[in-house]
A and B are shown apart, each in its own frame.
Chain A
Amino acid sequence: MKVLVAVKRVADYNVKVRPKSDGTAPDLNNVKMSINPFCEIAVEEAVRLKEAGTATEVVVVSLGDKACQEQIRTALALGADRGIQVDTDAELQPLAIAKLLKAVVDKEQPDLVIMGKQSIDGDNNQTGQMLAALAGLPQGTFASEVKIEGGKANVTREIDGGLQTVALNLPAIVTTDLRLNEPRYASLPNIMKAKKKPMDVLTADELGVEVAPRLTTVKVEPPAERAAGIKVEDVAALVDKLKNEAKVI
C-alpha cells in the first residue's frame, strides 16, 4: 500500500505572528519556519503504517518555493521514503492546493492520503475535504485513530459531541487531529540519511493546474485587545464582584 502525505511549511507554532505595520500581510520576516504540526502527525501516522507492514512506501509532497524542501527533508528524516516538491512561488489558497494535490494523486495513485486537518497559518481546515471532492474519494477528517482492515480505512473522528467512526473505501483521504499520535524526534543518523533520499521537483504548469487566488486580502489587523481586570483578595471578594458588579451569578 502506498501512502501519500502532504506537508506544509508554516511559521513555527511557538512564534506569535503579528500583522505587518502597513496591514497588508502577516509579518514573516526572520520568523522561524517549521513543518505544520498537524502535517507532522500525518507523517508519523504514515511511518507507523509502514513500520506495521501495512504501508510499503511513504511519499511526501509539499507545494511552494525551494524553501519547502526543508520540510520535505524533515519528513524524510522521520521515515518517509521519497519527496516531491511542486515548485511555485504563487500565493496558494486551499482550492488551488487541493487541485495541485489532485494532480499529484493522479500521478502517484496512492491507496491512502494523510494530511493535517488544518495549517496553523490560515487555519482554514479545507484542503483535505476539497482534495477528496476533486478526486471523488471518501474523507475521514479530524482523525484520532486510523485502522486499515479488509480493504477499508476505519477512521475514528473527533466530532463536537465525542467520537464518530466511519468506514471508508480505499483509496481515501484522512486528515489528522491532535490526538492521532505523538510524532517522534528525528535522530541524527536519520537526518543524515534523509539527505540522500530521492526528491522530485514538479511545477504547477507541468501539472496543468490553474492556481489563481479567488480571495483577496483587503487587510490584516491585530485582534481587539482585552484589558486586564483586577485581582481579588479572596473567594468572598470574588463572589461579591460576580454578584454585584458583573451580575453574572
Chain B
Amino acid sequence: MSILILAEHDNASIKSATLNTVAAANAIGGDVTVLVAGEGCAAAGEAAAKIAGVSKVLVADNAAYGHQLPENVAPLVAEIAKDYGYVLAAATTTGKNVLPRAAALLDVAQISEITAVESADTFKHPIYAGNIIETVQSSDAIKVITVRTTAFDAVAAEGGSAAVETVGSAHDAGISGFVSEEVAQSDRPELTSASVVISGGRGMQNGENFAMLESIADKLGAAVGASRAAVDAGFVPNDMQVGQTGKIVAPELYIAVGISGAIQHLAGMKDSKVIVAINKDEDAPIFQVADYGLVADLFEAVPELDAAL
C-alpha cells in the first residue's frame, strides 16, 4: 500500500518532524510519497527528495497554500489521498490542524498521535493524557494518521533521490486569510528536537529567574521548557510549555527544575532517556519518574550546577 505524507516545512526547508513521520511510514511499509504544499516551496521540495526512503515528492506551490491554511490545504490532501492507502502527518499544530479536515472530506476516521504500528491496520496511541494506551483497528479504505514524533526515530535527512513532481491543482476556498505570526526567535534548538531540555516550573517564582536555566542551556546546547504552572503564572510564553496540552518531548536528557510533576507535565516528558529532577519537596511526584533526583533549593543548586558544567 502506498503512503502519502504531508510534509512539515517552512517553504525553505523540511522540519525534522517529517523525518519521524517517514519512520512511522516505514514501520507500516509501502512506497512513501511526500507532499510539500506551500508558496515558493521548491527548496523544501528538493530537501524532501533527499530524505532516505522517500520514493516520490509532490510539490504544490501556490499562493493559496502559503501559510498552509487548512481550508485550502485539506482539499488538496483529500484530492491526492484518493490514490493512497494511508495519509500521515506529524502531530504538530500544523498536522493536527489540517489532517482531521482532510479525513472528514474523505469520510474516513483519523487515528491521532500513534506511538506504535502493530500491523497494517492496527495502531497504538495514548488516551486519557497518556494514562492509557489504546490499540485500535481501522476499517477505513484510506487510513488517516497523525504521528507522535517522539515515538519514532528520525530517518536520515540525506541519502535519498526521489523524483519531484509538480501538482497543479489550486484549492482556494476564499473563506480564510493569514493576518500575522509571532514566532519566538532563539538561537537554541527547538524544544521538540533538542537532545537536552531543561524546564522550569512554578518553583522558579518569576520569569527573570529562567535566566539561570538559559545559562545552563547555553552550556549544554539545550532547549528551555516550562511546566503549565509556570506558563499559566505568566513566567514564560505558552510555546515553551511541555506537557499533554503543550509539547511532547523525549530528549536524551531532561532536567526538571522546580517542577512538582503534575500528571499533565509527566505525559509530555516521561519518554525522555534520562530524567533529572531538582526540587526542594522530597515527596514531589516528579521524583517517581526521575533517574536522578536532587532534593535541594533550586536557587542554590542551579547556580552550583551551572558552575560545575
Select from chain B the residue with minimum beta-carbon distance to A167: B177
Q: Tell which of A43-51, A69-77, A198-206, A235-243 binds the partner.
A: A235-243
**Chain B's nearest CB lies how many Å from the CB of A131?**
8
Evaluate contact between B139 and A161: CB separation under 8 angstroms. no
Given A19-B132, A95-B108: A168 and B176 interface contact (C-beta under 8 Å) = yes
Inter-chain contact A123/B126, CB cutoff 8 Å: yes
| A-side contacts of B295, CB under 8 Å | 231
Binary B-proximity of A212-231 (CB < 8 A = 1, otherwise 0): 00111111111100101111
Closest to B146 in A: A125
Select A125's contact among B96, B138, B247, B252, beta carbons within 8 Å.
Answer: B96
Complex Cα–Cα for A94 and B136 (A): 14
Scoring A residues 136 to 175 as 1 if CB is less than 8 Å from chain B, else 0, what string do you get? 1111011010000000001001111111111111000000
Rounded to whole Å, the gap between the CB of B39 and the closest CB of chain A is 15
A-side binding surface: helix, strand, loop or mixed? mixed
Given A215-B138, A220-B133, are A232 and B292 neighbors across the interface (CB < 8 Å)? yes
Contacting chain B: which of A10-18, A53-61, A78-86, A103-111? A10-18
* A98 interface residue per 8 A CB criterion: yes
Q: Mark B1-18, 1 if CB is under 8 A from A, else 0.
A: 000000000000000000
Contact across chains for A125 and B176 when beta carbons are under 8 A apart = no
Chain B interface main SS type:
mixed
Complex-state Cα separation, A125 to B148, whole angstroms: 13
> Which of these, B100, B252, B253, contacts A129 with CB under 8 Å?
B100
Name which residue of chain A comes closest to B287, CB basis: A228
On whether the beta carbons of A162 and B109 are closer than 8 Å, the reply is no
Query: Which B98-131 residues have C-beta < 8 A from chain A?
Result: 98-105, 107-113, 118, 122, 126-131
Chain B residue nearest in CB terms to A218 = B135
**For A141, A178, A214, A234, which residue has the most chain B Cβ atoms within 10 angstroms?**
A214
Q: Does A195 contact B (CB under 8 A)?
A: no
Q: Assuming the A-B contacts A164-B180, A215-B138, A238-B292, are A123 and B175 also in contact, with contact meaning beta carbons closer than 8 angstroms in the complex?
A: no
Is B205 interfacial (CB 8 A cutoff)?
A: no
Q: Is A121 an interface residue (CB 8 A)?
A: yes
Closest-by-CB residue of B relative to A37 is B245
- A137–B275 Cα distance when bound, in Å, is 44
Give the Cβ gap from A127 to chain B, nearest Cβ, in Å.
8
Smallest beta-carbon distance B145→chain A, Å: 11
A248: Cβ under 8 A from any B Cβ: yes
Asked if A215 and B175 make an inter-chain contact with CB atoms under 8 angstroms apart, the answer reads no
Distance to closest chain A CB from B289 (angstroms)? 5
A220 and B110 alpha carbons, distance in the complex (Å): 18
Chain B, Cβ-Cβ closest to A98: B104
**What's the least CB distance linking A157 to chain B, in Å?**
8
Contact A124 B137 (CB under 8 A): no
- Residue A179 lies at the interface, judged by CB distance under 8 Å to chain B: yes
For A223, list chain B residues within 8 Å (CB): 126, 130-133
Distance, CA A134 to CA B100, complexed state (A): 11
Tell me the B63-117 residues at the A interface (CB within 8 Å).
67, 69-71, 74, 92-94, 96-105, 107-113
Interface bits B292-309 vs A (CB < 8 Å: 1, else 0)? 111110000100110011
B176 touches A249 (CB 8 A): no
Contact status A218-B137, CB under 8 Å = yes
Closest chain B residue to A157, Cβ basis:
B93
CB distance from A140 to the nearest CB of B (A): 8
Q: Which residues of B contact A179 (CB under 8 A)?
A: 231-232, 238
Given contacts A166-B69, A238-B276, contact A123 B305 (CB under 8 A): no
Beta-carbon contact of B70 and A129 below 8 Å: yes
Taking A154-B179, A226-B289 as contacts, is the C-beta distance between A231 and B294 under 8 angstroms? yes
Q: Are B131 and A242 in contact (CB under 8 A)?
A: no
